[in-house]
């Protein structure tokens, strides 16, 4: 599973990082720091929760 994020559209409210700071690292300004993440085994549920938590709907879970 991968996560893709439309980084340029991030508004920096950190809802994703509140679900998992490991999966959704923020930069020093509080915006999402990554555009694509390989979800480690066992973290799939957190990845889906983080995607749902984003009010901008810019986090997409890509099932493989
Ligand atoms: S929840 Fe969405 S808008 Fe908020 S910091 Fe994360 S990616 Fe950006």
* Structural domains of the chain ordered from first start: 2-62 (3.30.70.20)
Q: Is the pTM of this model over 0.85?
A: yes
Q: Which atom of ligand 1 is nearest to the CA of 54?
A: 1
Q: Residue 64: its pLDDT value, please? A: 81
Whole-angstrom distance, CA of residue 44 vs CA of residue 63: 10
From 3, 7, 13, the mutation candidate for ligand 1 (largest count of ligand atoms within 8 A of CB) is 13
| Bridge pairing between strands 59-62 and 36-38 | unpaired
64 CA to centre of ligand 1 in angstroms: 23
Q: Residue 56: its pLDDT value, please? A: 98
- 10-residue averages of pLDDT along the chain (64 residues): 98 98 97 97 97 98 91
């Amino acid at each position: 599973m991968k996560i893709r994020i439309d980084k340029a559209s991030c508004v920096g409210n950190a809802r994703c990082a509140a679900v998992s700071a490991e999966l959704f690292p923020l930069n020093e300004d509080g915006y999402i720091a990554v555009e694509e993440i390989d979800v480690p085994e066992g973290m799939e549920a957190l990845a889906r929760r983080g995607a749902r938590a984003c009010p901008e709907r810019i986090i997409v879970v890509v099932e493989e």
